[in-house]
Amino acid sequence: GAVVSQHPSWVICKSGTSVKIECRSLDFQATTMFWYRQFPKQSLMLMATSNEGSKATYEQGVEKDKFLINHASLTLSTLTVTSAHPEDSSFYICSGAPPTDTQYFGPGTRLTVL
Amino acid sequence: DAKTTQPPSMDCAEGRAANLPCNHSTISGNEYVYWYRQIHSQGPQYIIHGLKNNETNEMASLIITEDRKSSTLILPHATLRDTAVYYCIVRVGGGNQGGKLIFGQGTELSVKP
C-alpha cells in the first residue's frame, strides 16, 4: 500500500505556543488529505479535509483559526495548532489517497501541551 | 454515510479464525464497506473493502450478505499481532474520490495465546 509519513512523531510544547505537524505522501500524489484527532480511549474524529491549492473544509465544531491547515503541494499538508493549550493534547493523524485508491494513514503525532 | 454497529470487544485464540461482525442496515446502493484496524498508538491500517461481492486479500476476507445490511471480516489464522481495534466504515465510492472516512467505536479484538 501507499506510504504516508508524519513529522514529528511526538512533540511537547508550552501552553500558548504554536506547533506545526507535517504530513507527506511518500510514493503517491494526494489531491486530498484528511486530518484526524484521537483522544485516549476514543475513536478517531475527523477534523478537516485538505485539498491541494484550496482552503480546507473543517468539520462542525473544529475551530479553523486554531487549527490552520495548508496543502501547498500534492505531497505535503501541514496542520498548525496555534496558541496550544493543555486540552489540545491529543494524537493527530493524517491520511491521503492516490487518485484511484483508498486512504492510507500516517503513523500519527502525539502532542503534549504543558 | 450510513452508520455501522460493531460489538465493542471480542476475544480470539491464537491460530484460530477471527470473525468480526458489522451491521450497516441503512447502507445505500453506492456505499462501500471498508475495514481498517488500529494497533495501539499507531495510525489506522487499511485491510480490505468491498461493494457487494465477497473479497479476499493477503490479510483477510470480507463477506457481505446478499442484502448488504451486514458484513463479516475474517482473519483466517489470528496471531498475537492482530490484537487491535477494528473499524467497519461505509462510504460512498470505492476509490478515493475525495470521500472522507467517519470512524465509529470499532471492535477491540484481543488475540490470546
Residues A31-41 have a mean pLDDT of 92
Candidate from B49, B100, B106 with C-beta closest to A34: B100
Least confident of A4-8, A10-14, A94-98: A94-98
Say what the pLDDT of residue A43 is. Answer: 94
Candidate from A45, A49, A107 with C-beta closest to B43: A107
pLDDT at B87 over 70: yes
pLDDT single digits (tens) B3-39: 899 999 999 999 999 999 999 999 988 889 999 999 9
Residues B66-80 have a mean pLDDT of 97
Contact A99 B44 (CB under 8 A): no
Q: Name the residue of chain B whose CA is nearest to A106's CA.
A: B43
B27 Cβ contact list (under 8 Å, min separation 6): B2, B33, B68, B69, B90
Say what the pLDDT of residue B95 is. Answer: 57
Using alpha carbons only, what angle is made at residue B47 by residues B98 and A30, rounded to the nearest 5 degrees?
30
Contact A108, A21 (CB under 8 A): no
C-alpha cell at B68: 448488504
A76 Cβ contact list (under 8 Å, min separation 6): A22, A23, A24, A25
